[in-house]
Amino acid sequence: MNEMILQAVKGQVTDDEAAPPAEISDVLHLRLEYKNIRYIEGLWDFTSLTRLDLNNNLIDKILGLDHLTNLKKLDLSFNRIKKIEGLQSLRKLESLNLSDNKISVIENLNTIENLTHFFFANNLLEQLDNVLYLQRFKNIFTINLFGNPAGDDDNYLHFMAAHFPNLMFLDRNILDETTKNAASEKYQYVLDKMRAEELEKQKAEAARRSQEAELELHKDAFVEFLNGPYLFESMFESDPETEMLHHAPARISELQQLSDPDTAMTKISHCNVEIDRLYQTLVTLECKQVRQVELFSDKDTVMDALTTGHNHHVRKLFDRESQLVSGINAWKQTLIKEIQDKQLYLHRIHISDFLKQRDNLMEQLEKLQ
């Protein structure tokens, strides 16, 4: 495989170069079509590659492309591929040709951001809804799904035109305005829903960015997480006594209700089997509630629990105060150091200027003698 690749490099002249490059890492376009290739390998050093043609081979699995991070155009058509995979590193990919393979699902393209051309003709795609996966590519304007079972759907043309309003070419045909208008009328509800969802996403993204900016601002001032419930909730999340005090009253009420004779008799009247079930429930619940019941019958225990919780909360506040003071002190020391260094630098400049002035004056006096 490596020898074949080297021969291919030596024997080709790319669109971008007047002669084959001297170094493998400088190759921009590599043509390996019609080579009976079964496995993709030996491409690790082609780090500058922007176009790779592997069409018309015997490849059944996409792999070995992880280092081709500059790749913009990839042709894997006319192979034996069954699954889209191994493309997660190709973030700059703009054109992907997977036509004439055996793929049934469009997937695993999440990391690609700039896809504009997607060729998927003559595969095994049956679910038309799966094409909506491509909506994540906002700049896509060419899609080719010709020869897939999904293309036999009566609504195929209008479905695609409606869900991809920026699409210019579908199955190598131009999508004219008449078709787009008809699709818009037919799928008006869908389009309105898409726009609403897109608007919500934009609002959520704007809110997320605003929160991140605010958090960075607060971090710079050493007061992060002090403008919301974070600090308050952190006091209780690891306080077992608070959890006990919170749940005990409700559980005691439940215990009283289940131990009520009338309730027990009602259950017995419905079914004798419920007697055993009620008994087991009461015993289990009683074992779990012993500590909670004792808690409310023992004043010292209650006070100890409250004191423990109080101490826990105070410790949280002290820890947060220490973190705040430490941050401010570190910032203050850094600022003072910067001021001192600047003053020292200026002092040295001034001394140097004074010496130069002195030497200049002495030189002038010597000339007068």
Q: What is the pLDDT of residues 242-260, one digit of tens each?
A: 555 555 555 445 544 555 5
Non-local (6+) Cβ contacts of 133 within 8 A are: 106, 107, 109
Do 137 and 65 belong together in one domain?
yes
Do 121 and 150 belong together in one domain?
yes
274-327, pLDDT tens digit by residue?
Answer: 656 655 665 676 666 666 655 555 656 656 766 776 676 667 666 766 776 777
- Give the model's pLDDT for residue 278: 56
Question: Domain total for the chain?
Answer: 3
- Give the model's pLDDT for residue 252: 46
Neighbours of 68 (CB within 10 A): 23
- Give the model's pLDDT for residue 344: 79
Do 44 and 152 belong together in one domain?
yes
Do 27 and 98 belong together in one domain?
yes
Do 239 and 155 belong together in one domain?
no
- Asked if the model's pLDDT at residue 150 lies above 90, the reply is yes
Between CA 297 and CA 247 the distance in angstroms is 16
Indicate whether 367 belongs to any domain: no
pTM metric for this prediction: 0.57
Residue 148 banded pLDDT, cuts 50, 70, 90: very high
Indicate whether 355 belongs to any domain: no
- Give the model's pLDDT for residue 127: 94
Between CA 205 and CA 281 the distance in angstroms is 49
| Percent of the chain's residues with pLDDT above 90 | 40
Indicate whether 346 belongs to any domain: no
- Give the model's pLDDT for residue 241: 54
157-216, pLDDT tens digit by residue?
Answer: 999 999 998 999 999 999 999 999 999 888 887 777 777 887 888 888 888 888 888 777
Do 27 and 113 belong together in one domain?
yes
